[in-house]
Structure 1
């Protein structure tokens, strides 16, 4: 797994940083970008040395959504390249998995947003776990203003992540939201000075990386698995996820390190 035409990949310690890299189009979605994203999610989960992922955008933008000019013309940019066509033909759901519509990485994903994060950008955002935005970032689902449908999952997921009245307003008006508004309704967790979203996201990822990786992954899985269960069902499911963690060598190492007043050394065991 590596860079594609519109997706850059690098490591920052135990964090894999995926950068949407088409700044001349405000990182509008392209097929090479989506292929790179999906490969990035798979690579992060396959590599035990990766403990978290940060998703960001190049050039002061996160993602302006679908390339509408391409959509009105011959289709998504990059689709004429045989490499990308072959990948999409082999897995017709690849673009949805790339956008985290129905693919959930095992590792925690932190979004670092600067500038526009709209339409498909806001849809991808809903698949991330922790979200940081620069104070000038903008959000919104503009599809209805273009006579389109936010088919990346927003009519299902948004109402589960923010109050329904706010979800419906965002979906039905197609208006832009400031970072402060997005934080007020709970769509993002942190608003930081412009230009520092990536720095904060990496700092949060480093805090995640310092924790027991088996525990982190089990906690993330439990949160999502139990989201639509009754409380009784959720608590039962939580025990099934949680008890095995206590039997790991990492759990013993965590307790030992606490007693010895030293940083733990986790080995995913």
Structure 2
């Protein structure tokens, strides 16, 4: 796996998170990664170069010698990128993957050469610390070997599942946007600690560790989150009082609404609205 050559089209936050995570996990080497971006984004390429990756302003160059290409640009830019890399793509190589919001497999396959191997990916930024939540869906000509390779690459930076493409908008609203929701929770909990007299660094550390620990409990025990919540809430205790305050504030509805709003935006992006 360390010999896999990966080309990133786009060098923003997601590309950097995936590149750093894959290198940290030993799945590839920095010298086997090349990233391309416009001259206006030279600062992003400089950050990739700081990892030890090669850089270029030529998308075709980033594609020509790669085993896997990761398209990591804004959705509106994807059609131009696909045309840029088209001459360098065959049915044999590279495997073309995309993390672009709302860009469907049909869209990519419609531009690239016939029988191009395409996979659509939805990762999230905690891949940077190897705690990502990623999913992927394969195109018409992607093979079992392609799916296995994609799974191994994404599993190196967190959890990974293969899903139907119809799930991707909802997954975008849940785990794609989800880290931002969780950062708000950590910040709010820390603010609560500060309000009650704790130093901010300590309050923030406790809030973040508590969130990470609670998430680990859900995954490790396999218990329903409601059961775990009940196990913490002693009758008449302080925890149930805090839970009651959250329920009065509509916390469940707020998170459901957040996922709904983000999913709706993803659907609109895919439909061009």
The TM-score, its normalising length taken from structure 1, stands at 0.30
Bigger fraction of residues in helix: 2
- The structure number with the bigger radius of gyration is 2
The TM-score, its normalising length taken from structure 2, stands at 0.29
